Structure 1
Amino acid sequence: MRYDLEARYLGRVRTRGRTMTLTARLQVTRGEFVLDLPLRVHAGEVVALLGPNGAGKSSALRALAGLLALTDGHIRLDEHTWDAPPSVFVAAEQRRVGVVFQDYLLFGHLSALDNVAFGLRARGMRRAPARARAQEWLTRVGLTGIADRRPGELSGGQAQRVALARALVTDPRLLLLDEPLAALDAATRLQVRTDLGRHLRDYPGHTVLVTHDPLDAMILADRLIIVENGRIVQQGAPAEVAARPRSDYVADLMGLNLYRGVARGTVVDLDDGGRLILAEPADGPVFVTFAPHAVGLHPQRPTGSPRNSWPVTVTGIEQHAHTTRVRLDGTPSVLADITPATVAELRLRPGLEIWAAVKATETRSYAA
């Protein structure tokens, strides 16, 4: 379903035949932490910022919203400049920005309808038309019949939809989503993620999503930006980032073993020690990845088809759904996903010395 406002909105965001683009250089210094994040978001695009705690994702979102002034850099939406120290700073209430916070921050004393109408009223719209438009948005997000309920009477999924309607009802040019599904239980999250994805596909503005959940990012975003220590370490389409991680954080996020080394033909000497054999030759600095389920564990050194094998020591055992993840210290260290039956057969326990093996055909390499 296309929003009724789309035609009017697109008329505003196109100037002289050019589609408006958000461009920014988000530079913020707080004590010893420095955020330096170049950002470009096209109209209709959803960009997800991922990274560990303290990476600078929230600072980036707050800067875009106008809740945190830049130390240096700029924020521009085509011909409009929102922040350019030291001379320009547009206050948050004057930016065409909609925000959905992690905890939604709905006003507890207002009904769902008046929560959605709040932004319109704050911009001077009269009460009757503001409430009428808010009701249209509640219907649009699938909340017919709950207009009079207060936030305490809403389920988590309903509260998330009210927060989204409140953010979109003012026709924002930029939509900011701060962990929008984090407060939901697993069952509700699945449905709300699907609904949110539909609304984002229809939204013609610019969207920046902050999340710790790789599944949310993969499903909702057109492009991922991985931020670590205030800097971009990798960006690209979700499938590209998933297939070719370039940091340990991304590899952990995607559930892969990742190593860096120097390739000479089918042999890679790893930077942290050890050696891996590839199925396809390469040359120069490379990353090598393989999935934990590709790792076999053996009581003695395996024989047979050509493969990588090396001694390891069990350092941890964790249950993951129907598989068991084993952490192994060695040269190199490695994660292995095996069945509970294999755990019993090998009598795995921390401190046990065994052998890890990976077929060369299970490895993948690409330029570092």
Structure 2
Amino acid sequence: MTLHADLHVRRTGFELAMELSVAPGEVVALLGPNGAGKTTALRALAGLLPLDDGRITLDDDLWDEPPGVFRPADRRPIGVVFQDYLLFDHMSALENVAFGLRARGVGKHTARAEALRWLSTVGLAEHAASRPRSLSGGQAQRVALVRALATEPELLLLDEPLAALDAGTTLHVRAELGQHLSRYEGRTLLVTHDPLDAMVLADRLVIVENGRVVQEGAPTEIARRPRTDYVAHLVGLNLYRGTAEGTTVHLAAGGTVTTATPATGPVHVSFPPSAVSLYPDRPSGSPRNTWPVVVTGIEQHAHTVRVRLSPAPDSSAPTDLLTDVTTAAVAELHLTPGRHLWATLKATETQTYPS
């Protein structure tokens, strides 16, 4: 059963008008600048905000269709994880997870047993009696997630689920969240402003600006062909999936990257275009990532020039490699499509984390 939503909500000076679908087992990320309509869309799907027009259905199950049909949040098969988690401070972690089950009529003993099972799946069984204020940010996020999943919702809504975490915690929790979502058989809508969260966690991106969908597709598709300045800025990142063997990552799309941090198994490797340098000849004392490349595209990007590169023959360079250079460098390097150059990337500029 696929969720279909034709969302029309009008407010003073703003109108949300977008169509959205989420299939079973799919993670869709809704991205856009502040005020684009992301939160309005989430609240409409959650049953916290009625539509002015349109309809929301889960297969043949009608949730909202003005003027006569509106099913409130407590009658929709949804789970929600908010940015600040909204855990009940006066309840233990166990009681927080059991709350949704109890609200749906599950007996106290059964609800507590099921809550403990869910906490065990995220490694928090020993914190079952802990109150939210004694949990770390990552632990609180996991409690909020299993509280939402415990009721076995048809639709999981994640509202900036990693925004409250510090940078050091985010990498680990993002990887954990990805693993949980890969096992979830329902539909997931992730609302985020972070392009890395979207690229790592989502199967499909939906970009919203001024209440309208401006682009949607697979992350690689969005990254290859941005259609607005916002999207171009959003995907200003080299991101690859691969398999790590120590400090060498064999990329799924071809090529290898040497990283500073050893790892094993499926990983993501990311680095900004600014970390990639170009030379007319192979540089002496090169970093470990030194590749012969071919220029395949050049475009003005804000105050720099975005250069797209492909591996030269017999090169181990990543595919669709992006770098940003100055306008002066365009002239100095004689940058034109088809030009052969050398690209370098310092291993210390890369980030590697579990996929």
TM (normalized to structure 2)? 0.70
Retained in 2: the 8 A contact 1:292–1:335? no
The AA in structure 1 aligned to 2:34 is N
Corresponding residue to 2:95 among 78, 90, 114:
114
SS for the counterpart of 1:359 is coil
Corresponding residue to 2:303 among 329, 334, 356:
334
Is 2:107 aligned against 1:126? yes
The AA in structure 2 aligned to 1:251 is A
Retained in 1: the 8 A contact 2:93–2:130? yes
Q: 1:145 to 1:251 in 2, by over 3 A?
A: same
SS for the counterpart of 2:63 is strand
Cα distance, 1:105 vs structure 2: 0.2
Retained in 1: the 8 A contact 2:30–2:189? yes
| Counterpart in the other structure of 1:361 | 337
Q: Deviation string for 1:170-225 (max 9, x for gaps)?
A: 01000000000011111111111111101101100010000011110011000000
Cα distance, 1:255 vs structure 2: 1.9
Corresponding residue to 1:173 among 135, 141, 154:
154
Corresponding residue to 2:203 among 222, 231, 239:
222
Retained in 2: the 8 A contact 1:255–1:292? no
| Counterpart in the other structure of 1:247 | 228
Find the aligned partners of 2:302 and 2:223 in 1 and give their Cα distance: 21
Retained in 2: the 8 A contact 1:37–1:231? yes
Corresponding residue to 2:117 among 123, 132, 136:
136
Find the aligned partners of 1:200 and 1:91 in 2 and give their Cα distance: 25
| Counterpart in the other structure of 2:62 | 81
Q: Deviation string for 1:102-134 (max 9, x for gaps)?
A: 000000000000000001111111111000000
Corresponding residue to 2:184 among 203, 214, 229:
203
Cα distance, 1:84 vs structure 2: 0.3
TM (normalized to structure 1)? 0.68
Q: 1:362 to 1:232 in 2, by over 3 A?
A: farther
Structure 2: runs of 5 or more not aligned: 238-272, 281-299, 307-325, 340-355
| Counterpart in the other structure of 2:253 | none
Find the aligned partners of 1:90 and 1:40 in 2 and give their Cα distance: 19
Corresponding residue to 1:158 among 112, 130, 139:
139
Cα distance, 1:293 vs structure 2: 6.8
Corresponding residue to 1:67 among 43, 48, 57:
48
> How many pairs were matched up?
264
| Counterpart in the other structure of 2:168 | 187
Find the aligned partners of 2:20 and 2:9 in 1 and give their Cα distance: 14
| Counterpart in the other structure of 1:25 | 6
Corresponding residue to 2:38 among 33, 57, 64:
57
Cα distance, 1:243 vs structure 2: 1.2
Cα distance, 1:356 vs structure 2: 5.3
Find the aligned partners of 1:292 and 1:142 in 2 and give their Cα distance: 38
The AA in structure 1 aligned to 2:30 is L
Q: 1:216 to 1:332 in 2, by over 3 A?
A: closer
Find the aligned partners of 1:54 and 1:183 in 2 and give their Cα distance: 19
Structure 1: runs of 5 or more not aligned: 1-19, 257-290, 297-303, 305-330, 338-352, 364-368
Retained in 1: the 8 A contact 2:304–2:327? no
Q: RMSD across aligned C-alpha pairs, in angstroms?
A: 2.4
Cα distance, 1:334 vs structure 2: 2.6
The AA in structure 2 aligned to 1:68 is L
The AA in structure 1 aligned to 2:64 is D
Retained in 1: the 8 A contact 2:207–2:215? yes
Q: Deviation string for 1:17-55 (max 9, x for gaps)?
A: xxx000010110011200011011110000000000000
Retained in 1: the 8 A contact 2:305–2:327? no
Q: 1:222 to 1:354 in 2, by over 3 A?
A: closer
Retained in 2: the 8 A contact 1:75–1:84? yes
Q: 1:122 to 1:336 in 2, by over 3 A?
A: same
Retained in 2: the 8 A contact 1:295–1:356? no
Is 2:79 aligned against 1:98? yes
Cα distance, 1:332 vs structure 2: 8.4
Find the aligned partners of 1:90 and 1:225 in 2 and give their Cα distance: 25
